[in-house]
Amino acid sequence: MAERVGFEPTNELPRCWFSRPVLSTAQPPLLNEKRIKLILLLRKNNNILIYFSNTSLNKLFMITNKMAKFLIKLILIFYSFSFFAQANASDDKFEIWLKNFKNIARDKGVSENTINDTLQNVKFLPKVIEYDRYQPEFYEDTHTYISKRTNKKKVKKGLSLYSKEKNLINKIENKFLVEKELLLALMGIETNFGNYLGKMDILSSLATLSFDKRRSAFFTNELITLLKLIDNRVIDKNILFGSWAGAFGNFQFMPSTIKNYAIDFNNNSNIELKKIDDSFASAANYIKKIGWKTNSPCFVKVELKESVPKIYLNTSARKLKNKKKVKYLKKFLKNPDNYSSYDNMIGAIITPDKDIIPGSSNLKPAYIVFSNYELILKWNRSLRFALAVCTLKDKFKNEI
Ligand SMILES: [Ca+2]
């Protein structure tokens, strides 16, 4: 199973207040280079604006939105003239890494032809490192995050794709026993229904992240896996353009997910994850194989009593703690009788805004999440991502 580079804000990384129109998880985290440079610079100088961003910038924005935007534009213009990012690595070091990596690939059984063919144009991409360091650009609260990604426009777009590909999608639903609404929701959140697939050269993205020390072992393994898929002619190397972190296709699969779960549904000896048939079948196969249960809820929104012990409040997508039957958790809920139909389901309480959104209430919003929700977390480790996918799925359910 591939671990995805999620888009979950964490309290370990610097906050920033920039946002962008959000169409898919495949989009790079920040709108443009100037903004990244500004953040790097502000952070380096411990500028007073960082202080504001960490405390009450949202409130400040509400009052003086136009003024603040104007000010930021001025700063951007100023720094675009005066600031140049330092190169993160010299070409020499990357070349040494590449030579060494080729030896590793050979040892792992990748053919000489594929090594020469795929790695001859591989480049170090400084932008990928910047994206990696400044992922959590969203300091949107959960409500905003979900509403943006599951709005009417998105539902309409998904319905239109469904009406166009109805026969195929129904066939895949029946074969793999995974609700079409879930598949549509995953595709909608990942790539806005294939509209944003990413344009990065994935071989270079993976090589850059493998060369970089932060998560080298993980990305080295992903790159080797991808080379083997190319070697075995499962994947065509000429279509390998995708997200900055190496995820690919309509459903943003990492190479190890492709290896373990992707399917050549139209039997043309090639897995094409930018095509509807192969990608839908692969997504259905993946989520089913990791344990998806049809017609079982992902989560239920709840209101917590002030007396709920803190140990029950999960804020990290890494591992959900203190899972209990709902009938046990009910003593921490307001209006517990409303949740009786979930009594025997095992769930965990999550409070995704706690610890992360400045000034947020500790107990709102809160959800009890179930095993299906945890499978979406395996797909992409982000509490908000999984909430958005399941919300969009339920919206489709009402429409199809
Ligand atoms: Ca195929």
pLDDT digit string, tens, across residues 243-263: 888 999 999 999 999 999 999
77-107 per-position pLDDT tens digit = 555 444 434 444 467 899 999 999 999 999 9
Structural domain includes residue 8: no
How many whole angstroms from 284 Cα to the centroid of ligand 1?
Answer: 15
53-71 per-position pLDDT tens digit = 444 444 554 555 566 666 7
Structural domain includes residue 80: yes
Structural domain includes residue 331: yes
**Of the candidates 146, 190, 41, 82, which has an alpha carbon nearest to the alpha carbon of residue 16?**
41
How many whole angstroms from 202 Cα to the centroid of ligand 1?
Answer: 20
The pLDDT of residue 38:
62
How many whole angstroms from 295 Cα to the centroid of ligand 1?
Answer: 29
17-46 per-position pLDDT tens digit = 333 334 556 665 544 555 556 655 655 554
How many whole angstroms from 84 Cα to the centroid of ligand 1?
Answer: 45
Structural domain includes residue 172: no
How many whole angstroms from 386 Cα to the centroid of ligand 1?
Answer: 28
Task: Give the residue ranges of DSSP H helices in 232-363.
Answer: 255-261, 276-289, 326-329
Token pair for 313: 């409040």
How many whole angstroms from 267 Cα to the centroid of ligand 1?
Answer: 5
How many whole angstroms from 270 Cα to the centroid of ligand 1?
Answer: 4
Q: Which residues form the domain of 310?
A: 299-369
Structural domain includes residue 380: no
Structural domain includes residue 398: no
The pLDDT of residue 34:
58
Structural domain includes residue 45: yes
Boundary of a domain, candidates 45, 68, 87: 87
Structural domain includes residue 335: yes
The pLDDT of residue 160:
97
Higher pLDDT, 317 or 188: 188
How many whole angstroms from 168 Cα to the centroid of ligand 1?
Answer: 14
The pLDDT of residue 244:
87
pLDDT at 300 over 80: yes
pTM of the model: 0.81
**Of the candidates 264, 269, 260, which has an alpha carbon nearest to the alpha carbon of residue 280?**
264
**Overall number of domains in the chain:** 2
**H-run or E-run covering 300:** strand 299-302
The pLDDT of residue 354:
85
Boundary of a domain, candidates 43, 72, 87: 87
**H-run or E-run covering 369:** strand 366-369
